[in-house]
Every structure is written in structure tokens, then in C-alpha cells.
């Protein structure tokens, strides 16, 4: 009888400890880390989607605006640079690698903007159904990139806040010593300047 009572106390103590540990946030670091990784994967997925659209867009524009060879080459080069960059496994905690990735994507976006601006000069191109469909897909992809980046930024904010807050900071130090603050997207100095409107 005493053995079963003692066993019941041990089981009860184990259940109480499990509930207490789950309530104190012991699993927050891995849960939030996995959310950051999932959101980062979606960012990469949307960048890849944009990259996949570019060859078709360049070929369509090339058919109408062959004289814009310099712009076409710059878009192709920017795409190659953005897609051929090998991302290190620690990119989310490596400020230099993250910044390089961000710069490559910004260069590609800038080159695409110039390509779409060139298309304004060619009415036949602007009315081409293939070009219109590609342009629409590209605009939709840019919106998806913005949403994916927002979700990633929010996930990083929750993760980084967890690593810096008490008591989760202590729990992370004891149970997850390899947990590091994650990098997030920034805005370039040029993008922070308000556009000047002249009449």
C-alpha cells in the first residue's frame, strides 16, 4: 500500500513538474526558432518565385526593345548574382551574410524597376498579353515578398524579445546555449529619404 502511495506521489510530482515547465516557457525558444525558420523559408520561396519570372520577362521585353540591351543585361546579371549566391547555414545569425543577401535582392529589384520603366517607351510591348501577364505576376510576387518579409520580421521580433527577456533569457542560457539573436531586414538610407515632389 505504501509502495503504491509512494509511486502515485512520484507520478503526481512528475506531472506537476511537466505542467510547470511547459507553463514557464521552457519550450518558447525552440518554438519561436522554428517559426523564424519557417518564415525565412517563405521569404526565400517568394524571392525564388520572382527570380523564376525574370527570364520570361526579359525575353518578352527583348522581342520589343532590343535596343535596351544594357538594361536587359543588368537585369540578367542581377538575377544571376542573387540566385548564385551560396547562403551560409548561419545566415540568420550572420550580419554580414544577411546584409549581402539583402543587397543582392535590392539590386535585383532595382534592375527590374528599370526594366519595367523601359517598357513604358514601347506601346506595343505594354499591350502584349504575355508581357501584361508577366508584369501582373511580378507585381503579385512583390506583394507576396513584402508579406513574407513582414511575417519574418515579426517572427524574429518575438524570438529576439524572448531571448532578451527575463526569465526566458535564463532558460535559454541554461537549456539552449547555442540560441543566438536573429538578423532582420533593414531599409537602405536611400529608401528612407522621402521622394521630392516638384511641380
**pLDDT tens series, the chain, 199 aa:** 566 667 777 777 666 655 555 556 788 999 999 999 999 999 999 999 999 999 999 999 988 887 888 899 999 999 999 999 899 999 999 999 999 999 999 999 999 999 999 888 898 888 889 999 999 999 999 999 999 999 999 999 999 999 999 888 998 999 999 999 999 998 766 655 655 544 4
- Is the CB of residue 153 less than 8 Å from the CB of residue 185? yes
Cα dihedral 74→76→79→81 (10° resolution) = -70
Q: DSSP state, 68?
A: G
0.95 exceeded by pTM: no
| Cell numbers describing residue 65 | 526593345
What pLDDT, on the 0 to 100 scale, is given for residue 197?
Answer: 46
| Distant-in-sequence, close-in-space partners of 74: CB < 8 Å, separation ≥ 6 | 111, 114
- Is the CB of residue 140 less than 8 Å from the CB of residue 148? no
Q: How far apart are CA 171 and CA 154, in angstroms?
A: 22
What pLDDT, on the 0 to 100 scale, is given for residue 65?
Answer: 85
| Cell numbers describing residue 172 | 535559454
- Is the CB of residue 125 less than 8 Å from the CB of residue 44? no
Domain ranges of the chain: 46-187
In the CATH scheme, what architecture does the domain 46-187 have? Answer: Up-down Bundle (1.20)
Amino acid at each position: 500500500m505504501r509502495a503504491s502511495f509512494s509511486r502515485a506521489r512520484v507520478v503526481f510530482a512528475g506531472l506537476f513538474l511537466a505542467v510547470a515547465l511547459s507553463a514557464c516557457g521552457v519550450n518558447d525558444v525552440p518554438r519561436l526558432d522554428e517559426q523564424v525558420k519557417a518564415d525565412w523559408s517563405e521569404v526565400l520561396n517568394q524571392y525564388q518565385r520572382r527570380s523564376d519570372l525574370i527570364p520570361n520577362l526579359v525575353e518578352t521585353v527583348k522581342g520589343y526593345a532590343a535596343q535596351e540591351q544594357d538594361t536587359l543585361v543588368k537585369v540578367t546579371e542581377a538575377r544571376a548574382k542573387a540566385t548564385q549566391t551560396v547562403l551560409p547555414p548561419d545566415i540568420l545569425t550572420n550580419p554580414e551574410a544577411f546584409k549581402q543577401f539583402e543587397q543582392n535582392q535590392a539590386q535585383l529589384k532595382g534592375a527590374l524597376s528599370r526594366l519595367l520603366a523601359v517598357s513604358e517607351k514601347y506601346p506595343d510591348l505594354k499591350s502584349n498579353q504575355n508581357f501584361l501577364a508577366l508584369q501582373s505576376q511580378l507585381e503579385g510576387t512583390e506583394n507576396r515578398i513584402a508579406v513574407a518579409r513582414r511575417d519574418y520580421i515579426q517572427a524574429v521580433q518575438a524570438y529576439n524579445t524572448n531571448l532578451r527577456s527575463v526569465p526566458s533569457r535564463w532558460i535559454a542560457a541554461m537549456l539552449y546555449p547555442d540560441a543566438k539573436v536573429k538578423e532582420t531586414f533593414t531599409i537602405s538610407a536611400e529608401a528612407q529619404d522621402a521622394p521630392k515632389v516638384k511641380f
